[in-house]
Structure 1
Amino acid sequence: MRFTRRHPLLTVVLLCALAVLAARPADGDGFPAPGHGSASGVGAEVARLYEEAATATERYETGRREAEEQRARARRLEERLDRERRETAGLHEELGRIASSQYRDGGGLPLTAHMLLADDPEELMRGQRAVRQAEMSLDKAIGRSERAEARLARDEAEADAAWRRLEKRNTELAALREDIERKLEAARWKLQGQADASVTAGACRGAVRLDQPRTRFTTSWVAPVETYELSASYGSGGAQWANRHTGQDFAVPIGTPVRAVGAGTVVRVSCGGAFGIEIVLRHADGYYTQYAHLAAVAVDQGERVWPGQWIGQSGTSGNSTGPHLHFEARITPETGSAVPPVPWLARRGVSL
Structure 2
Amino acid sequence: MRSSRRRPLLAPVLLCALAVLAARPTAADGDPGDDSGVSAQVAHLYQEASAATQRYEAGRHAAEAQRAQAQHYEELLERERLEMDALRKDLGRIARAQYRDGGGLPLTAQILLAGTPDQMMRNQHAFLRAGLIVDNAVGKRRRAEERLLADEAKARTAWQALEQRNAELAALKKEIDDKLEQARWQLQGQADAAVAAGSCRGAVRLDQPPIDGTHAWVAPVETYQLSAGFGSGGARWAHRHTGQDFAVPIGTPVRAAGAGQVVKVSCGGAFGIEIVLQHPGGYYTQYAHLAAVTVDQGQRVVAGQWIGQSGTSGNSTGPHLHFEVRVTPEMGSALDPVPWLAERGVPVG
Indicate which of 26, 39, 44 corresponds to 1:43: 39
Q: CA RMSD in A?
A: 3.3
Q: In structure 2, how many angstroms separate the alpha carbons of the residues matched to 1:240 and 1:271?
A: 19
Structure 1 residues 338 and 127, CA gap change in structure 2 (3 angstroms): farther
1:235 aligns with 2:231: yes
Structure 1 residues 88 and 174, CA gap change in structure 2 (3 angstroms): closer
Q: In structure 2, how many angstroms separate the alpha carbons of the residues matched to 1:192 and 1:39?
A: 11
Deviation at 1:113, TM superposition (A): 8.8
> Percent identity of the aligned residues?
62
Q: Per the alignment, in what secondary structure is the counterpart of residue 332 of structure 2?
A: coil
Listed one character per residue, the Cα deviations across residues 25-52 of structure 1 (whole Å, up to 9, x for unaligned) are xxxxxxxxxxxxx784322221112122
Q: In structure 1, how many angstroms separate the alpha carbons of the residues matched to 2:331 and 2:189?
A: 26
Listed one character per residue, the Cα deviations across residues 72-120 of structure 1 (whole Å, up to 9, x for unaligned) are 4444334323312311221221332343244345252645599879xxx
Indicate which of 301, 304, 311 corresponds to 1:308: 304
Q: Which residue of 2 aligns with 1:60?
A: 56
1:183 aligns with 2:179: yes
Q: Is the 8 A contact 1:95 1:131 kept in 2?
A: no
Q: In structure 2, how many angstroms separate the alpha carbons of the residues matched to 1:124 and 1:244?
A: 105
| Equivalent position amino acid for 1:303 in 2 | Q
1:332 aligns with 2:328: yes
TM-score (norm 1): 0.76
Instruction: Give unpaired runs (5+ residues) of structure 2.
Output: 1-33
Q: In structure 1, how many angstroms separate the alpha carbons of the residues matched to 2:259 and 2:104?
A: 96
**Structure 1 residues 101-250: aligned runs within 5 Å:** 101-105=97-101, 106-108=103-105, 110=107, 111=110, 131=130, 134-149=133-148, 151-152=150-151, 155-156=154-155, 158-159=157-158, 162-163=161-162, 167=164, 170-250=166-246
Q: Is the 8 A contact 1:206 1:297 kept in 2?
A: yes
Deviation at 1:250, TM superposition (A): 0.5
How many pairs align? 310
Report the structure number with the largest CA radius of gyration: 1
Q: In structure 1, how many angstroms separate the alpha carbons of the residues matched to 2:242 and 2:133?
A: 85
| Equivalent position amino acid for 1:142 in 2 | R
1:79 aligns with 2:78: no
Structure 1 residues 100 and 314, CA gap change in structure 2 (3 angstroms): same
Q: Per the alignment, in what secondary structure is the counterpart of residue 189 of structure 2?
A: helix
Q: Per the alignment, in what secondary structure is the counterpart of residue 312 of structure 1?
A: strand
TM-score (norm 2): 0.77
**Structure 1 residues 267-286: aligned runs within 5 Å:** 267-286=263-282
Deviation at 1:57, TM superposition (A): 2.9
Instruction: Give unpaired runs (5+ residues) of structure 1.
Output: 1-37
